[in-house]
Amino acid sequence: MKTTVKMPFGIILLFTAFTLFTLLNSFRLEKKIENFDEINVKRINIIEKDGTIRMVIANKELQHSGRMDGKDWEKRERQAGMIFFNDLGDECGGLIYAAKKNSDGSVNSGMSITMDRYRDDQVLQILNDESIKGDKIMSQRGFFVNDYKSLEGIDARNKAYKDAEKITDEKLRNEKLREISKNHGSSNLLFLGKTKGNSQGLFIADQNGQPKLMIYVDDKGQPKIQTFDEKGEIKDFLLTGNK
């Protein structure tokens, strides 16, 4: 006698659902790595698992406007390149590049790699900046070290500038802008490279950005070592008879 065992429909349905869930979940957990020979893209966002943005690679049109304290800045024109963001999602540096032909035939071209201070603007920069007109070129190429006197950050400084611009009295407005720049603006502490005046060397300033020491070769090919006192007066150590 042939015996047939029938399984309850509910058990069959449960088993089927469990099997499908296991298969789908295994596909979901599988790490996917895609290989491409070539892609065309206008913007790539690199993010953490929780969505925190870490890097943006974009063209000029879609470049990230910047971000600080959890808020994106208003849309603004920025050059193509890479913008970096720290673990908090704040902008912390970048690499940008551009070239522009002007109506008079001149050309402006350059590239910049920057590293920002925490919650502020760039403090380290490698720069190549060129202006070409006819057969003449003016260029600055080198390494900058900058710093800020205040720890308030870039958002507070930008707000102070914006508020100052609302002052209707021109004299008072300019005084306020100079005050903000003096107390909260950037100071260039060091430059190593080629200047727009065709000198090559090392240029060091104090914490207020006032020149203190320059070791360079000028545009005439003459080597120079110069220091500056508190009044800004220059002492040239390579002049004949100067001790």
pLDDT tens string 38-85: 999 999 999 999 999 999 999 999 999 999 998 999 999 999 999 999
Scan for tokens 């900046």, then name that residue: 129
pLDDT tens string 150-159: 888 999 998 9
* pLDDT on residue 72: 95
Kindly calculate the radius of gyration of the chain based on its CA atoms and give it in whole angstroms: 29
Strands of the sheet with 107-116, listed across from one edge: 43-47, 53-58, 81-85, 91-101, 107-116, 122-133, 136-148, 186-194, 200-205, 211-217, 223-228, 234-236
| Euclidean distance between CA atoms 114 and 127, whole angstroms | 8
What's the whole-model pTM score?
0.81
pLDDT score of 243 more than 90: no
CA angle 207–212–216, rounded 5-degree value: 125
Say which range, 11-25, 73-87, 131-145, has the weakest mean pLDDT.
Answer: 11-25
Q: Which pLDDT band, with edges at 50, 70 and 90, does 11 fall under?
A: low
Do residues 184 and 152 lie in contact, with contact meaning Cβ atoms separated by under 8 Å? yes
Q: In whole angstroms, how far apart are CA 168 and each of 157, 175, 178?
A: 20, 12, 16
Sequence ranges of the domains in the chain: 38-94
pLDDT score of 242 more than 50: no
